[in-house]
Amino acid sequence: MIEFKNIVKRFGDKLVLDNVSHKMEAGKTNLIIGTSGSGKTVMQKCLVGLIEPDSGDIIYDGVSFTHMSEDERKLLRQQIGMLFQGSALFDSMTVEDNIKFPLDMFTKDKQQVKLKRVNEVLERVNLVGSNKKFPSEISGGMKKRVGIARAIVLNPKFLFCDEPNSGLDPQTSMLIDKLISDITKEFNMTTIINTHDMNSVMEIGDNIIYLKDGKKEWSGNSKEIIFSENKNLNQFIFASEFLQDAKEMRMIESRKG
């Protein structure tokens, strides 16, 4: 579980995160949603320590991340996996080497054991046989899956995903969402996803917070979001007429149910 309390971050005069607090639960897909520039990425970077918040506390399983030394953070980070928006694969390495890299760096296992683990995670993300391909030779969706494979190869307790569906077609997006959701439940990870993809919100949003101009405006789950009275959230989620109709359909179905 990750808890953050009263996170404040400014860049110069601009207040990017304004007193944000929330609990991200283990075994659930926790979503941070909001328009572009609402502070989602800064929030996630604060949580993993790539950006230091000006004030507030971040707590990983009861231990304060904010007050940890650099060495303690390094140790904790071995339990963190992260999928970046652009996948951030090392382009000079093959798919296999990319996934094997954390194993090479942090384990003393034999090559055979490492390769077995690489093939296991490749199978988990449906990329069997792609070992020797380079990132430049695979599609965007495959890159995301390799990114997920690399993020989970050390069996992390915490998984961070920054816009995992950006630039993907709806079908591939759904596959990625399902994969992240399944892995989260299978390994009881605390998964935090930044997204503004409405399909993700509806399909895998176990615990959602909505940021607007750096402030937490709303929190709940994918069922509660339909009935939300928050005007800003409704404008953001159900921006088009099509989505408005979908919302009404869902509300009718829920009431019937």
Partner 1 sequence: MNFFSHIGRYLMMLKGMFGKPENSKLYWKEFIHQCAEIGIGSLGIVCIISFFMGAVSAVQAAYQIVNPLISKVIIAQIVRDTVILEFAPTLICIVLAGVIGSKIASELGNMRVSEQIDALEIMGINSKNYLIMPKIGAAIVMIPMLVIIAMFLGILGGRITVAASGVIPTDVYDKGLMEYFKPYNVFFAMMKAYTFAFIISSVPAYFGYYVNGGSLEIGRSSTKSVVVSCVLILLADYILAALLL
Binding mask of the shown chain, residues 193 to 222, with x at each position contacting partner 1 by CB under 8 A: ------------------------------
Contacts of 95 (CB under 8 A, 6+ apart): 89, 122, 127, 130, 131, 132, 133, 134, 135, 138, 146
3-class DSSP state for residue 71?
helix
Q: State the binding string over 46-85 for partner 1 (x if CB under 8 A, else -).
A: --xxx----------------------xxxxxx-xxx-xx
Q: How far is the CB of 150 from partner 1 (least distance, A)?
A: 8
106 binds partner 1 (CB under 8 A): yes
> Which of 90/227 has CB closer to partner 1?
90
Stretch that binds partner 1, among 21-29, 96-104, 114-122, 230-238 (CB under 8 A): 96-104
Residue 69 carries which DSSP code? -
Q: Is 97 in the site for partner 1 (CB under 8 A)?
A: no
H helix runs in the chain, sequence order: 40-48, 70-77, 95-106, 111-124, 140-152, 170-186, 198-204, 231-237, 241-256
> Toward partner 1, which CB reaches closer, 162 or 177?
162
Minimal distance in Å, beta carbon 56 to partner 1? Answer: 20
Tokens standing for residue 53? 């918040």
Q: Which of 37, 55, 104, 167 binds partner 1 (CB under 8 A)?
A: 104
**Window 12-51: residues binding partner 1 (CB under 8 A):** 48-50
Site track for partner 1 across 154-173, x = CB under 8 A: ------x-------------
Please provide the DSSP assignment of 74-143 as one string: HHHHTTEEEE-TT----TTS-HHHHHHHHHHHH----HHHHHHHHHHHHHHTT-TT-TT--GGGS-HHHH
Quick one: tokens of 57? Answer: 């506390």
Rule CB under 8 A: choose which of 105, 110, 255, 257 binds partner 1: 105
Task: Give the interface with partner 1 as residue ranges (CB under 8 A).
Answer: 48-50, 73-78, 80-82, 84-86, 88-91, 101-102, 104-106, 160
